[in-house]
A and B are shown apart, each in its own frame.
Chain A
């Protein structure tokens, strides 16, 4: 549920900012000290993106900003006028999971689930970047996402599964 009224601020310093979040266009008046993460969680009520440190040290807040994975806690929302943001909610809902989300379920790539949306957004962004080939690459490239439950081996297995399936899919199409 999106409550745009809640986002409207009356501060003189608020800045008009257009954001497309999971395909929905918003025109918002945002105070410059509002992080993209807090905007998503508290104002747009998209609480799938998590706050684990608020300082770019854990990756729980990872979203895709114009398709690129970033720490939304370190983004000031006003700086992203015109941007497209994809959060975990935009990747797939509970009853229609995307392949990466389904792979995390199938490989038990989580425990408490709190770092999970960030892990999944990071993994999706990582595959788009196209720099990983080996398991060691995956581990390195997902090292910006802490998991205190220690689900790393299962996370790597989930990502490998998606990579393999994607490669097979491409091969089939050719």
Chain B
């Protein structure tokens, strides 16, 4: 870990100003991923701006019926918050399926959105990685890619986004609230993370100095029919090989509204609102529907050797999650 300057931010604008006016500044909140990366010498910030004293710790109701989650709300406080567990149960489940209690007690909502990939090449400064050092290459494509992507990959990068929380938020159509040197803006979660393309070093659409202030959840939380299914290599404390957040609204056996996102398959939570509209909404909540939907959603998926099994695992996980969501509360 390099030496760096440490600054405690007193207000948002000052923090944004500080970060946008010089190079190599990182914001820090929970630090569970950033400190980890600094210790591995993967990132080398010149200064850290500590956001923890800002007033972004609240979960509040929104006038339109949704909920605003302050960026500094910890993963634990979010998952166990009575409003979240009652109205957005798939979000609670997703968060509690990730990391460990100790990490969830520190990790924040904003920080979780900015988690970096767990690709072992990215994490190891001794080897090439286009995401860590653009232009050095991607040994993962022919190497240890068990946990890596099958969708939305590029020649430069096959990294996956490791978050569980983000998968549920994607399915919930969350909106990320951002402030920065050029003012405030709202970014749908679906657009917040990028695909690697030609610039795998850039994970999100945030620009220099921008700070996440909150995540808004819409009123629809799929409290009646939702599921979060995570498949991993051990029974706890492991990143997802495949995860699925599925929320359905079902009336008389037919789907009226749906939100379904996949984790562990791409550089971002994988969701297609268009396919949901076309292949889920208006369709009966049964296995045929799930089959048609998963086939379309996973169209174009490609394995790289070690992760070929995900091509088999992703469809069955999707089907399991949809089936669980559809039958939530029933005794099967």
* A residues lining the B interface (CB < 8 Å): 11, 13, 15, 31-33, 35, 54-56, 59, 62, 68-71, 74-76, 78-79, 81, 122, 125-126, 129, 131, 139-141, 143-145
Contact A33 B52 (CB under 8 A): no
* B309 sits at the interface (CB 8 A): no
Q: A13-B6, A144-B99 are in contact. Are A79 and B50 (CB under 8 A)?
A: yes
Q: Which residues of B are found within 8 Å of A79, using beta-carbon distances?
A: 6, 28, 31, 50, 52
Q: How many angstroms from the CA of A79 to the CA of B26 in the assembled complex?
A: 14
**In the complex, chain A residues whose CB is within 8 Å of the CB of B4:** 13, 32-33
What are the 9 closest A-B residue pairs judged by CB atoms, nearest first? A144-B100, A32-B6, A143-B236, A143-B237, A74-B35, A71-B102, A144-B102, A68-B105, A33-B1
Query: Which of the residues A13, A31, A78, A122 comes within 8 Å of B101, measured between beta carbons?
Result: A122
Residues of B within 8 A of A (CB): 1-6, 8, 28, 31-32, 35-36, 38-40, 48, 50, 52, 76, 80, 99-103, 105-106, 235-237
Closest chain B residue to A126, Cβ basis: B101
A13-B5, A32-B48, A74-B31 known; A122 vs B39 contact (CB < 8 Å): no
Distance in angstroms between the alpha carbons of A164 and B201 in the assembled complex: 51
B31 and A75: CB pair below 8 A?
yes
- 12 A-B pairs, CB-CB below 8 angstroms? A31-B3, A32-B48, A55-B40, A56-B32, A56-B100, A71-B106, A81-B8, A122-B102, A126-B101, A140-B236, A144-B99, A144-B101
- A33 in contact with B32 (CB, 8 Å): no
Residues from chain A with a CB closer than 8 A to the CB of B236 are: 139-140, 143
Complex formed: what's the CA distance from A124 to B35 in Å?
Answer: 25
CB-based contact B1/A141 at 8 Å: no
